[in-house]
C-alpha cells in the first residue's frame, strides 16, 4: 500500500463547475499538507499548504484537511479552462521525513469551455 | 521573482554517455532536492541536501548516479553511463523549512 493514495483521473468537468480533488494517507506522522499544480511540460508549482485540520481558503481554492480520517481535499470553485493541469498532493512530517515530501501520483484535471 | 533554474532544459544522448544536469537553487534556500518524473512511476525522490550536505540518496541507483553541491548556488546530478531507462524529466527543487519550489526540469532522452 502506498503512503499517499490519489486517484489519477482524468477528471473532466465543464467550465464553472466545482472541482473536488482528494488524497488519502496512511501515516499519522504527516504534519503538513500541500497541493501542487503542474501544467504540461512544466515543473510543479506550489498552490497551497496547511498544517492543521480544517479549511484554508485562497481565492477560488480551498484546501481541507481531516487528520482523523487521514483525508485531504482541494476544492476549486468556478473552474476555468486555465485550471486544466495535473494536481499533486504532498505531505511531510519533520520527525520521520525531515524536509522530504511524499507525493501522490497526481490527478489530471480537464476543464472544458 | 526568485526561481529555481535548471540546465539544460532538454538533452538527447546515446546510451553509455555521461549526462550532467545543473540546478541553481533560490538564494537563501537551504534544502535542495532532485526528483525524476515518469508516466509510470510519477515523481520519485533521488537525493536531498540540507546546507549542502547530502542527507538522503537512497532513491538513486548508486552505480551510475551521483549528486553533489559544490557550492550553495549549484547542485549537479550526473549519470554515467546513461541507459535508455533513464529517459525521464529530472526536476530540482529548493526550499527553506517545509515547502519546496521546483525548477522547470531537464527532459532527458537516452537513445
Q: Does B52 touch chain A (CB under 8 A)?
A: no
Give the residue on A whose Cα is nearest the Cα of B92: A43
Residue of A49, A88, A100 with shortest CB distance to B99: A49
Buried b (16+ CB within 10 A) or exposed e, B8-37: eeebebeeeeebebebbbbeebebbbbbbb
Mean pLDDT of B78-93: 98
| pLDDT (0 to 100) of residue A85 | 98
Is B103 in Cβ contact with A88 (below 8 Å)?
no
Q: Measuring CA to CA, how many Å separate A45 from each of A90, A95, B80, B102?
A: 12, 25, 30, 7
SS3 A68: coil
Give the residue on B whose Cα is nearest the Cα of A32: B98
Q: Does A100 touch chain B (CB under 8 A)?
A: yes
Mean pLDDT of B77-91: 98
> Contacts of residue A42 in chain B, CB cutoff 8 Å?
104-105
Give the residue on B whose Cα is nearest the Cα of A48: B99
| pLDDT (0 to 100) of residue A50 | 94
pLDDT means per 10 residues, chain A with 113 residues, are 89 98 95 97 96 94 96 98 98 88 96 96
Mean pLDDT of B8-14: 98
| pLDDT (0 to 100) of residue B104 | 98
Is A99 in Cβ contact with B48 (below 8 Å)?
yes
* pLDDT more than 70, % of chain A: 100
Q: Measuring CA to CA, how many Å separate A112 from each of A41, A42, B106?
A: 20, 21, 30
Mean pLDDT of B34-40: 95
Residue of A42, A99, A105 with shortest CB distance to B98: A99
Q: Measuring CA to CA, how many Å separate A110 from each of A18, A70, B6, B73?
A: 12, 26, 28, 37
B43, B59, B102: which to substitute to probe chain A, counting the most A Cβ within 10 Å? Answer: B43
Amino acid at each position: 500500500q502506498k503512503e499517499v493514495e490519489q486517484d489519477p483521473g482524468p477528471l473532466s468537468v465543464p467550465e464553472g463547475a466545482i472541482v473536488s480533488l482528494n488524497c488519502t494517507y496512511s501515516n499519522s506522522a504527516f504534519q503538513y499538507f500541500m497541493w501542487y499544480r503542474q501544467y504540461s511540460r512544466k515543473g510543479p508549482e506550489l498552490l497551497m499548504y496547511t498544517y492543521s485540520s480544517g479549511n484554508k481558503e485562497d481565492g477560488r481554492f480551498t484546501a481541507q484537511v481531516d487528520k482523523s480520517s487521514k483525508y485531504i481535499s482541494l476544492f476549486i470553485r468556478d473552474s476555468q479552462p486555465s485550471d486544466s493541469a495535473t494536481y499533486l498532493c504532498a505531505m511531510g512530517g519533520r520527525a520521520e521525513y525531515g524536509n522530504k515530501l511524499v507525493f501522490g501520483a497526481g490527478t489530471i484535471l480537464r476543464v472544458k469551455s | 521573482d526568485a526561481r529555481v533554474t535548471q540546465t539544460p532544459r532538454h538533452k538527447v544522448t546515446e546510451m553509455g554517455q555521461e549526462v550532467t544536469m545543473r540546478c541553481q537553487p533560490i538564494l537563501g534556500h537551504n534544502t535542495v532536492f532532485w526528483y525524476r518524473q515518469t508516466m509510470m512511476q510519477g515523481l520519485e525522490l533521488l537525493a536531498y541536501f540540507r546546507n549542502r550536505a547530502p542527507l538522503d540518496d537512497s532513491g538513486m541507483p548508486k552505480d551510475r548516479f551521483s549528486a553533489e553541491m559544490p557550492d550553495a548556488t549549484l547542485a549537479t546530478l550526473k549519470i554515467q553511463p546513461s541507459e535508455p531507462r533513464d529517459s525521464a524529466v529530472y526536476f530540482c527543487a529548493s526550499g527553506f523549512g517545509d515547502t519546496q519550489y521546483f525548477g522547470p526540469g531537464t527532459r532527458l532522452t537516452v537513445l
